[in-house]
Amino acid sequence: DQQVKQNSPSLSVQEGRISILNCDYTNSMFDYFLWYKKYPAEGPTFLISISSIKDKNEDGRFTVFLNKSAKHLSLHIVPSQPGDSAVYFCAAKGGIYNNNDMRFGAGTRLTVKP
Amino acid sequence: GAVVSQHPSRVICKSGTSVKIECRSLDFQATTMFWYRQFPKKSLMLMATSNEGSKATYEQGVEKDKFLINHASLTLSTLTVTSAHPEDSSFYICSASSGRGPETQYFGPGTRLLVL
């Protein structure tokens, strides 16, 4: 039951360009969305989040966009830096789930080339 | 950010043996801990949620007698894979929450289990 989907397993961009990572969800009860970043041999770390009452949230080089009608969100990183190379997980929560119970996508491996 | 450790980071065992994985919150008290499992190229799948001092709540399809979870203190939760089989080989990752919202869920580095 893949309620959160990241259809691109990998993405490669040039340093300085924009990285766009996409995420789709199926459960309309989700009301909070998060992006996590994961380096090898480390656990995922929280990056940025957005509530369903918003359509955009920005934090420095990172911006998350939410399109509720399309059940789609995206993470934009601009400008991309080599240190951004990692696996990015999209997560969603809400509805009948516990407050901290989240559903994750499979992740997208971002490679930023110098 | 807060630190969550897991031990061991990697374990190889024979089929039929039991394996215990520890998850510790090192610099905060975790009211809730979560255990996830990740298959290659798949998402993190929540296995169970545990609150300190109470029984874990298992997700549908997860065998509670096979995956024993103990949350004995506010800084330690353990997952024991009993009578492990090759199909239990996976990446197990825990997270700990201080209870102040989803942004305060901190993940451990994960444990790679290989059952021969």
The contacts of residue B6 (CB under 8 Å, 6+ apart) are A43, B21, B22, B23, B24, B93, B94, B108, B109, B110, B111
Output the pLDDT for position A67. Answer: 97
Which 3 state secondary structure label does DSSP give A37?
A: strand
Output the pLDDT for position A9. Answer: 93
Output the pLDDT for position A96. Answer: 44
CB A76 within 8 A of CB A13: no
| Residues in B lying within 8 Å of A, measured between beta carbons | 1, 4, 6, 9, 32, 34, 36, 41-46, 49, 93, 95, 97, 99, 101-103, 105-110
CA pair distance A108, A106, nearest whole angstrom: 7
Residue with tokens 């630190």: B3
Which 3 state secondary structure label does DSSP give B3?
A: coil
Output the pLDDT for position B105. Answer: 81
CA pair distance A102, B37, nearest whole angstrom: 13
A104 part of contact set with chain B, CB < 8 Å: yes
CA pair distance A14, A17, nearest whole angstrom: 6
Output the pLDDT for position A75. Answer: 98
A104, B44: Cβ pair inside 8 Å? yes
DSSP state of B83: S
CA pair distance A86, A37, nearest whole angstrom: 6
Which positions 59-88 of A are in contact with B (Cβ < 8 Å)?
A: none
Output the pLDDT for position A99. Answer: 52
Kindly tell me if the per-residue pLDDT of A53 is higher than 80. yes
CB A77 within 8 A of CB A61: yes
pLDDT in tens, B82-97: 999 999 999 999 999 8
Residue with tokens 């996976």: B90
Kindly tell me if the per-residue pLDDT of B66 is higher than 50. yes
Element (H, E) at A15: none
